[in-house]
Chain A
Amino acid sequence: MQYQATVRIEQKAGMLDPEGTTAKRALGQLGYQVSNVKTAKLYEIVLEAESVEIANQKVDEMCQKLIANPIIHNYTIDLKELN
């Protein structure tokens, strides 16, 4: 089966998010009052796997090995089956 994994990488709570802070400030300059802006990175990975469980396991491995840095990131994986 073919699956598409959407992986969302975000910084751990308590870490500085310089891009988010800058965007918040810039939005303020444009007249928008926002209380917080947080940035995250999204990866869409298409892969073959025998089952959704195996696909999830593979993508989790990819995150651990390369896509995320567990010292500074949390990540979530959302899987859908492709036709």
Chain B
Amino acid sequence: MKIAILQFGGTNCDQDVLHVLKDVVGVDAETVWYKQEDLTGFDGVVVPGGFSYGDYLRAGAIAARTPIMNSVKKLAAEGKPVLGICNGFQILTEARVLEGALTTNEYPKFRCHWTNLRVETVDTPFTSKFRKGEVIRMPIAHMEGQFYAEEKTLAELDENEQVVFRYVDENGKVTDEANPNGSLENIAGIVNTSRNIFGLMPHPERASESILGSDDGLRVFESMVDYITENF
């Protein structure tokens, strides 16, 4: 098994994801510069966080239109898992492989702190190691993390159980105070209808070892690796 971690100009969480996959989970992983257009031989992809192309135009807009994203789409079409974290989530929505859009936080500043998240579904390749309804902790670090989608799209996301994590208070309740960026319905992460493409604003790689304050994020990577082991 080998997992690709994409690098664009401005990506800055690639080494953290590489460390978690190689040293904590213990699988083969490799960073891949965006100019490489072939992802043959990889069983999964992580699009990590950072500020690809300086967030010019809109966060993720330029990276989403690079040729390597065609290879990501091809790999996803084979059922292989694609995980987009923070800027990676922005790239996946800009590439239209995930619904909706991410725009400037309701209070327009960069926010970097811990959040509580409620696990809304365990029926994805990324959340099999969680319990439904469980409250977990992961940090956010973003300026453009407000999830927006038209009403019809939001209804579809709910109906198909595509919302994976929501921002909640420590008791698991969806409140405005627990929402760090004004995301509609406190949405922190969603999957596509095939459930193998997952985007989330919080950083699971920054919560993958207890020394960091939480290892809840580790289970996202472990679930992904389990899924690859079982299916490919």
Give A contacts to B, CB under 8 Å.
11, 15-16, 18-19, 22, 65-67, 69, 71-72
Give B contacts to A, CB under 8 Å.
57-58, 61-62, 65, 94, 100-101, 103-108, 146, 148-150, 182
Task: Evaluate contact between A72 and B57: CB separation under 8 angstroms.
Answer: no
Task: Evaluate contact between B104 and A19: CB separation under 8 angstroms.
Answer: yes
Looking at B94, B108, B150, which has the most chain A CB atoms within 10 Å of its CB? B108
Task: Evaluate contact between A16 and B94: CB separation under 8 angstroms.
Answer: no
Could you say which residues of chain A place their CB within 8 Å of the CB of B101? 69, 71-72
Task: Evaluate contact between B148 and A71: CB separation under 8 angstroms.
Answer: yes
Interface of chain B, main secondary structure:
loop
Task: Evaluate contact between A71 and B58: CB separation under 8 angstroms.
Answer: no
Shortest beta-carbon distance from B118 to chain A in Å: 23
Cα-based distance from A67 to B150 in the complex (angstroms): 20
Given A69-B94, A71-B100, verify A16-B146 contact (CB < 8 Å). yes
Task: Evaluate contact between B150 and A71: CB separation under 8 angstroms.
Answer: yes
Shortest beta-carbon distance from B151 to chain A in Å: 10
Could you say which residues of chain A place their CB within 8 Å of the CB of B150? 71
Shortest beta-carbon distance from B133 to chain A in Å: 29
Given A16-B182, A18-B105, verify A67-B57 contact (CB < 8 Å). yes
Could you say which residues of chain A place their CB within 8 Å of the CB of B149? 71
Task: Evaluate contact between A18 and B58: CB separation under 8 angstroms.
Answer: no
